[in-house]
Amino acid sequence: MTTSSDRLWGARFSNGPANAMVKLSRSPRTYFRLTPYDIAGSMAHCSELLRAGLLSDEEHQAITLALKGIQTDFSNGELHPNENDEDIHTFVERVLIERLGSLGGKLRAGRSRNDQSANDSRLFLRDQVRRIGIMVLELQHAIIEQSKRHKYTISPGFTHLQQAQPVIFGHHLLAHSQAFLRDVQRLTDWDRRFSTSPLGAAALSGSAITNSMEKSAREMGYNAPCENSIDAVASRDHIAEFLFIVSMLGVNLSRLSEEICLWTSQQFRWVKLDDGYATGSSIMPQKKNPDIAELTRGKSGRLIGNLTGMLTTLKAQPLAYNRDLGEDKHQIIDAVETLELVLPAMAGMISTMVVDESELRRQAPLGFTLATEMADWLAKQGVPFNHAHEITGAAVRLCEQHGIELDGLTQEMLKEVDNHLSAEVLQCLTLEAAIEARSGYGGTAVERVEEQLQRLELALEEQHQWCKHYTGPRVL
């Protein structure tokens, strides 16, 4: 059994905790990834104690230097928690006391593991949202480069996974970019909302010792301290919201992955993957499998599961702090580690894939994807659209009977369908005409795709600047 001197609690207990209690209570090893953020909070708290008069200038300097040394040794892999360290806070205090003696014990005054824990996870996430943002931007760069290569490439567009209308393939790729743009926008919005420090809330009611939390908040890169000490330690909506954002990112990654799986299939034959971003079969020598896309699609379920688990943990907790809240670190660390694997792999796969432009063009008119052009032409001639729809449907049936596409209709066939149809409509029944007709804002016309690319690149540069300009503790 551990003794009370090994822990941050236990002075009123006559016996130490049972081994089963120790095992259940001890933080998983992955939680110690947050050690640098705990040290950052400890240095800010050390300055609070100096301002409160509990530390002299010399003591403040000694503790700060010791904390920096712990940070360096931990980062270099020269310092590790031992089996008696219940959590990060126990670990850091133990090493501090080992290095400074009784002076190290002074740092605990005026704070609680409750506000430390809340602060650690918040600092960790404020750092990680920018790291995730950088990885998403690398994927965005890969998509944009492919979009530029294919801003003239015509391909089938789909609804209900049925060929619908021709589109520019670069335009289709940029639809994914728009979704990822919003994912990073959600990260920036999250960061603005949760740029408040819980440090100083102590256990739940605030600290009787530290009273200049505005200064410690700024020292850690926050905009301000939390408004309510109970909310500061008891709320985890910042965790739940982060998990929603990365779940949505996972869903968007999964949708792109599903399309990669389709595009690389023999049924589509649109895309070939680089050998470095595909795998084979242990039994079928001919196979080339889109494993990155499939693994990413699978891990989106993991991200969604983390969100579901966190919401379930939170739904019936009374104020203020409860040990249930310790689950937050499992969820956020797992989410971050999942994205650390997925995002670089997806970026590499997209940047190196090769698109078969001729195959896309060959398939673009199949399935009567130009039918809407005929209906639109009729509407422009004054035919009510419900009637134009029926006429076009009749033309499609005639094409099916003759085994041709719409652009194969002769003038005689057109008249057979309806007197409103003339040879002039054939000028609209080309891929280029269909593309350029969609010239409204956000449409698939080449000019609009180029404009979209320009606006998107400006927006991504703003996001890049946000990722770079962060004054809080960074562990990249």
Active site residue ranges: 160, 281
How many angstroms separate the CA atoms of 385 and 238, rounded? Answer: 50
SS3 content of the chain, % helix, strand, coil (to 5): 65, 5, 30
Cβ–Cβ under 8 Å, residues 168 and 444 = yes
In sequence order, which residues have a C-beta less than 8 Å from that of residue 15 and are 6 or more positions away?
1
Backbone angles phi, psi at 154, to 5 degrees: -95, 135
How many angstroms separate the CA atoms of 114 and 311, rounded? Answer: 20
Cβ–Cβ under 8 Å, residues 423 and 411 = yes
Cβ–Cβ under 8 Å, residues 210 and 48 = yes
- By CB atoms closer than 10 A (0-12, 13-18, 19+), residue 134 is middle
Whole-number Cα distances in Å, 197 to 13, 147, 231, 417: 32, 42, 11, 72
Alpha carbon 418 to its chain's center: 53
Token pair for 204: 């739940």
Cβ–Cβ under 8 Å, residues 307 and 240 = yes
Backbone angles phi, psi at 46, to 5 degrees: -60, -40
Backbone angles phi, psi at 72, to 5 degrees: -65, -45
